[in-house]
Chain A
Amino acid sequence: MGTKLPADRVELLQGTLDMLILQTLVWGAQHGYGISQAIRAQSSEALQVETGSLYPALHRLEKQGWVKSEWDVSDTNQRAKYYRLTPAGRKQLLRERDRWDQLVAAIGGVLNPAKS
């Protein structure tokens, strides 16, 4: 199955979704729709999170104790399930960011050997 993506859209790297979700929640509790919108907006529309990945990821994160969920009413009076970062989730986010930075530096070093 080939997924058609607009030219300016990039596919999410395997294993980075959890990090992006956790990072989004740093600004406060958010519901699933809000998370997907935030990721899209902050990536200038380049990253589009499929709901088929988003909700499984959210439930997985909750099971691991990195986020906590609770039902609340949004400012537009819509009942929604809000996810909140836990202290453990904050630590996990730091670990994943570290790993990501290392990965970027390592790949950058390979791609541009002159600079390093």
Chain B
Amino acid sequence: VRFFRALRWRRQREDDLQAEIAAHLAMDARERVAAGADPEAPRLAALKEFGNLTLTREATRLTWGALWIDRAESVWRDLTYAIRLLVHSPGYSLVVAGVLAIGIGVNLIAFGLFQALAVAPLSGVRNSADLHFIVATTISYLQGWILGRGADARRVFGELVTGNFFGVLGVRAQLGRTLTPADDVLGQDQAVALIAYTVQQSRHEIGIRMAVGAPRSSVLSRFLLSGVRLGLVGSVLGVAAAAAVAGLMAGLLYGVTAADTTSFLAASAAVAATVVAASLVPAWRASLLDPLAALRRH
């Protein structure tokens, strides 16, 4: 109730001030006509002399003491002003929105990666937050094995583990069973193995290549090349886009030039290094494939 009374009182003062200003303008105009000007010019001149009407009104209103609705109103006015500015220069707005989107996106991806790799629980592992490195009692060591017999034989990498390995991690098999401590007490030349079920694409193709005599190095370089080619296309597109955006931004920001060769080169080099590193691992794995095994599977 007090607020509404204040609001009504405020409105009355507003009308009062409006009338006061109108009276001022009328008197000013009349004086000018009396001084011998034509009727329309003095009204404009009076308005001009009065200066910014809104400014006068606002400055006067400030002396009344602020109501919270005044503050809300000023926030609202700032907001509409900002929106009008943005609409006025859509190109600038788009660039700003784009830069913000990219920045936020990169942050999201980085955080998502960190979350997935470091914070979130490992999938399929019970209470992974309680996980500690107790290497000595579970995992033994990495070793190469031959899987299968004769033409079907494949080289695989595996790990020697103790029977409690899967139990400690809480990992269960989708089908069949995992190792249990009971497997630790088998006879001397008996061994129990758990084979992961993985699907690898393009195995077939590589198999054919190697079967018709392609050396390992050719498979390696082929995989590397396809990765690097992608990276190159990406770099060129990226540099072009970056140059365009920088050209737009250079006019708006202080101390930024459109063609900073060093930073473009550095960015390209970083991309190239990343691409090579990323394609090296699958390329290496592919080159290790046994052609006959790869073909036979299909």
- Measuring CB to CB, which residues of chain A are less than 8 angstroms from any residue of chain B? 31-34, 37, 50-53, 55-56, 58-60, 63, 71, 74, 76, 78-81
Contacts and interface: CB of A to CB of B under 8 A. Distances in A.
B59 A52 contact: yes
B42 to A, nearest CB: 13
25 contacts: A31-B23, A31-B24, A32-B20, A33-B24, A37-B31, A51-B49, A51-B50, A52-B51, A52-B52, A52-B59, A55-B17, A55-B21, A55-B60, A56-B59, A56-B62, A59-B17, A63-B63, A63-B64, A71-B19, A78-B27, A79-B19, A79-B23, A80-B23, A81-B19, A81-B23
A22 to B, nearest CB: 16
Contacts of B49: 51
A17 to B, nearest CB: 12
Interface string B40-53: 00000000011110
B30 interface: yes
A71 B19 CA distance: 10
B28 interface: yes
Contacts of B17: 55, 59
B4 to A, nearest CB: 22
Contacts of A32: 20, 23-24
B38 to A, nearest CB: 19
Nearest to A80: B23
B30 A78 contact: yes
Interface of B: 16-17, 19-21, 23-24, 26-28, 30-31, 49-52, 55-56, 59-60, 62-65
B60 A76 contact: no
Given A78-B30, A81-B16, A81-B19, A51 B63 contact: no
Give the 5 A-B CB pairs with smallest separation, nearest first: A56-B59, A80-B23, A60-B63, A59-B63, A33-B27
A71 B85 CA distance: 41
B63 A56 contact: yes
Contacts of A51: 21, 24, 49-51, 56
Nearest to B28: A33
A53 B62 CA distance: 12
Nearest to A55: B60
A52 B30 CA distance: 21
Nearest to A48: B49
Given A34-B27, A51-B49, A63-B64, 9 more contacts: A31-B24, A37-B31, A50-B51, A52-B59, A55-B59, A56-B60, A63-B63, A78-B26, A78-B30
Give the one of A51, A79, A80 with max B CB within 10 A: A51
B17 to A, nearest CB: 7
A50 B53 CA distance: 11
A53 B27 CA distance: 18
A34 to B, nearest CB: 8
A102 B21 CA distance: 36
